[in-house]
Amino acid sequence: MLKDITIGQYIPGESLIHRLDPRTKILVVIIYMTALFIINNAIGYYFILLFSLNIILLSRVPVKYYLKGLKPLLIIIILTVSLHIFMTPGTIIAEIGPLAVTKEGLKQGVFMGTRLILLVTVTSVLTLTTTPMTLTDGIERLLNPFKRIGVPAHELAMMMTIALRFIPTLIEETDKIMKAQMARGADFESGNIVQRAKALIPLLVPLFLGAFRRADELAMAMEARCYRGGENRTRMKQLMYTSLDTGAMFITIIFLMFAIYTRLAA
């Protein structure tokens, strides 16, 4: 059960996508999403599919990881698609009992489904090819210009880093405490909802205590090393744009312009 959590899962690799600067990757994803919502006809979708497939292949991450990322969203996707298919008014092409499938609805449904799947998949490319630490670094740098209007860029990034850093630790801890209580005969898997909720107490109390203890220790360790926020802080690994990033941005912008063009031309 705990093994299914894929947040911040990173698949190590040396592909072109892995080597891109995190800022580029974040910007490309934002532009990509914009384009995805601008496009509204078949030609546009054809090209965005081609573009996305290329990115996925370039990432060299096994396809099953993308499928795994889609699995939890399956119900939402099916629901959205069927709502569109059955609820859009227009020319009726088939009738199943009280439900009517319209031509416009079918088109709309397929489009929406593709949109959702692509959205999730391409965002997964970002998280699967970038370590969580690099990703937060990128976010911090991208948010830097907004510091002047009061966005606490460094603090946000630090919180994200710490949160991401502790996800595996807490999962491991949960696993350990669960096993320790199971060794004492605790049963987390059977009984009605009240019994199950009660069974969680021996798990949650030690887990929270542990989390607070860790937070305390971490704060102390950070202060002992003179941490005092982002002011004047330098970093060991500087982010640097390379020609690879220029190329990627160039292609993405052309792609965006094309997306806008297909909409206007239609």
Partner 1 sequence: MSIEIKDLYHTYQVGTPYETHALQKINLDIAEGEFIGLIGHTGSGKSTLVQHLNGLLKPSQGQITIDGVDISQKGIKLKEIRKKVGLVFQYPEHQLFEETVLKDVSFGPQNLGLSVSEIDKRVRNALEVVNLDYLEIKDQSPFNISGGQKRRVAIAGVLAMEPKYLVLDEPTAGLDPRGRDEILAQIKELHRRLKITIILVSHSMDDVAKMADRLIVMHDGEVELNGTPREVFQKSEILKAIGLGVPTVSALLYSLKAKGFEVRTDLLNMEEAKEEIIKVLRMRRGKNA
Q: Kindly list the residues in this chain that would bind partner 1 in the complex (CB under 8 A).
A: 3, 11-12, 176-177, 179-187, 201-202, 205-206, 209-210
Matching residue, tokens 């052309």:
254
Least gap, CB of 160 to partner 1 (angstroms)? 23
Residue placing its CB nearer to partner 1 in the complex, 121 or 181: 181
Residue placing its CB nearer to partner 1 in the complex, 103 or 179: 179
Least gap, CB of 213 to partner 1 (angstroms)? 9
Is the Cα dihedral 243, 246, 251, 254 positive or negative? negative
Q: How far is CA 95 from the centre of its chain?
A: 38
Residue placing its CB nearer to partner 1 in the complex, 120 or 199: 199
Least gap, CB of 206 to partner 1 (angstroms)? 5
Least gap, CB of 211 to partner 1 (angstroms)? 11
Least gap, CB of 1 to partner 1 (angstroms)? 14
DSSP assignment, residue 94?
A: E
User: Taking the CB of residue 126, how many other CB atoms lie within 10 A of it?
Assistant: 20
First to last CA, the chain: 48
Nearest to 259 by CA among 32, 44, 49, 111: 44
Residue placing its CB nearer to partner 1 in the complex, 200 or 239: 200
User: Taking the CB of residue 30, how many other CB atoms lie within 10 A of it?
Assistant: 12
Residue placing its CB nearer to partner 1 in the complex, 183 or 236: 183
The tokens describing 246, both together, are 């220029």
